[in-house]
Amino acid sequence: MTARSVETVVVGAGQSGLLMSDLLRQAGREHVLLDRRSALGGGWQDRWDAFQLVGPNWTTSMPSHPYDGDDPDGFMTREELIAYFRRYGAAIDAPVELDTEVQRLRAGEGGANRAARFRLTTSRGEVEARDVVVASGPFQVPHIPAVATGVDPSIHQVHAHTYRNPEALEPGGVLVVGTGQSGVQLAEELVEAGRRVTLAVGHCWRGPRRYRTKDIFWWLRMLATRGREIGVALPSVEQLPDPRARFACNPHVSGHGGGHDTNLRKMGAEGVRLVGRLSAAEGTKVRFAPDLAANLTYADTWFDERVKGVCDRYAMADGLDLPDDQVTQFAFDPPIVDELDLRAEGISTVLWTSGYRPSFDWIELPVIDELGLPIQRGGISSVPGLRFLGTPWLVDMTSGNLLGVVRDAEGLAARW
């Protein structure tokens, strides 16, 4: 089959792909963005109806397209985010081809265009390219643990990826599994809708909405972009104690209601039943690991032990005059629940907020590790011309979100 030739193909037209397109356009490089969706808006289109950005609106700013609203410290809704990135795509005249799924990426075949190092098979034909940027984002395949197969079919199961609102669920109580950002926010939403919620607490940490007068995302942005320059930085991917830590959940905090802290103990005191990690299921009966106390302690202390000191050192190194601050703890110890009969408890739904897993099996090149993540350094793979952007932990914990993607993209462009 005859393939058309393009100098650079960017796979994915979410915020990472659009940003890369912007930088390629500024450098005068011919390129095209291929996206399987029928409209711009990336993975934000998959979020639930009442979704709001966890980071402040200013985190959406792109180098040539700063946040254009009137509430930089507010938190955009799903629809506002989608509209913002569609405006960005139009502003940079991004050469996007929608409804185009990339099905294979392999080495070039040495045809008429001998400069082409890659060949891509798409739903609309073959493409040859000298360079490829994989910008397919962090939210690829919804992950549901194997324990779900033991749950009786009479209990409805849904992943946060397809959840839309409380009214769309079966009447009755809800077991929410996972306490990352989505899990805690959805538990709050369900409580507000009058649902009885049981929350299976995972190994996730929480951060304060604001620390020393600054939003927690301000601290993360400064540490990610200026930290190394002044000698105080976030841990790099090379410093992780275990490669599996790249799948660790994001800290739970919320942008709803103007933005607020989230606290599992407080939620428990106000009526949410807290249980340990879901460890087994047989029919309508489920069992929980004896780790609730440990997981609550981890959530409460992680910021103080791992982040607070880094923020303080950054403030000192940068000469910032910010008032001292203490993160207060909420005193509540929930009763231990080892087992529940979901049907007897009136729980009709298990809502999985268990995150996502990467899906790079379409890349037929030796650049994916045993955990399914790219083998790379700063987004540059060992295969000349193949780069990654927007994937978690390309550099540090901010690489998979709006905080780090600009830094990572500019780093790729500088080393083209």
The type of residue at 232 is V
* 3-class secondary structure, 93: coil
Start-to-end CA distance of the chain, whole Å, equals 30
Give per-residue burial for 218-227: e unless 16+ CB within 10 Å, then b. bbbbbbbbeb
pLDDT of residue 86: 97
Phi, psi of 392 (to 5 degrees): -55, 140
Q: Which residue is it, tokens 């996007």?
A: 96
pLDDT of residue 127: 97
Which tens digit of pLDDT belongs to each residue from 208-244?
Answer: 999 999 999 999 999 999 999 999 988 888 888 888 8
User: ∠ CA 331-335-337 to the nearest 5 degrees?
Assistant: 140
Residue 114 has pLDDT above 60, yes or no: no
pLDDT of residue 116: 83
pLDDT of residue 64: 92
For the chain, what percent of residues have pLDDT higher than 70? 99
pLDDT of residue 138: 82
Nearest to 230 by CA among 318, 106, 319, 125: 318
Cross-strand partners of 97: 34
Q: Which residue is it, tokens 């390309």?
A: 394
pLDDT of residue 328: 78
User: In whole angstroms, what is the distance from residue 282 CA to residue 116 CA?
Assistant: 54
Residue 109 has pLDDT above 90, yes or no: no
Which tens digit of pLDDT belongs to each residue from 256-285?
Answer: 999 999 999 999 999 999 999 999 999 999
pTM, two decimal places: 0.94
pLDDT of residue 249: 85
Q: How many CB atoms lie within 10 A of CB 416?
A: 13
Pairing between β-strand 156-159 and β-strand 376-377 as defined by DSSP bridges: unpaired
Across the chain, mean pLDDT equals 95
pLDDT of residue 113: 53
Higher pLDDT, 13 or 326: 13
Distances (CA, A) of 317 to 221, 228, 320: 16, 11, 8
Mean pLDDT of 166-192: 97
Cross-strand partners of 122: 102, 125
pLDDT of residue 299: 96
Taking only Cα atoms into account, the Rg of the chain, rounded to an integer number of angstroms, comes to: 22
Two tokens at 285? 């009966």
| Confidence label for 111 from pLDDT (cuts 50, 70 and 90) | low
User: In whole angstroms, what is the distance from residue 29 CA to residue 133 CA?
Assistant: 13
Nearest to 5 by CA among 104, 113, 96: 113
Q: Which residues contact 179 (CB under 8 A, 6 or more apart)?
A: 199, 200, 201, 202, 204, 249, 252, 264, 295, 299, 353
For the chain, what percent of residues have pLDDT higher than 90? 88
pLDDT of residue 144: 97
Which tens digit of pLDDT belongs to each residue from 355-405?
Answer: 999 999 999 999 999 999 999 999 999 999 999 999 999 999 999 989 899
pLDDT of residue 247: 86
Mean pLDDT of 68-95: 97
Mean pLDDT of 119-138: 95
User: In whole angstroms, what is the distance from residue 295 CA to residue 114 CA?
Assistant: 55
Distances (CA, A) of 321 to 207, 213, 314: 21, 11, 11
Residue 326 has pLDDT above 90, yes or no: no
Mean pLDDT of 287-306: 96
**268, 328 in Cβ contact below 8 A?**
no
User: ∠ CA 81-82-86 to the nearest 5 degrees?
Assistant: 115
| Confidence label for 139 from pLDDT (cuts 50, 70 and 90) | confident
Residue 315 has pLDDT above 60, yes or no: yes
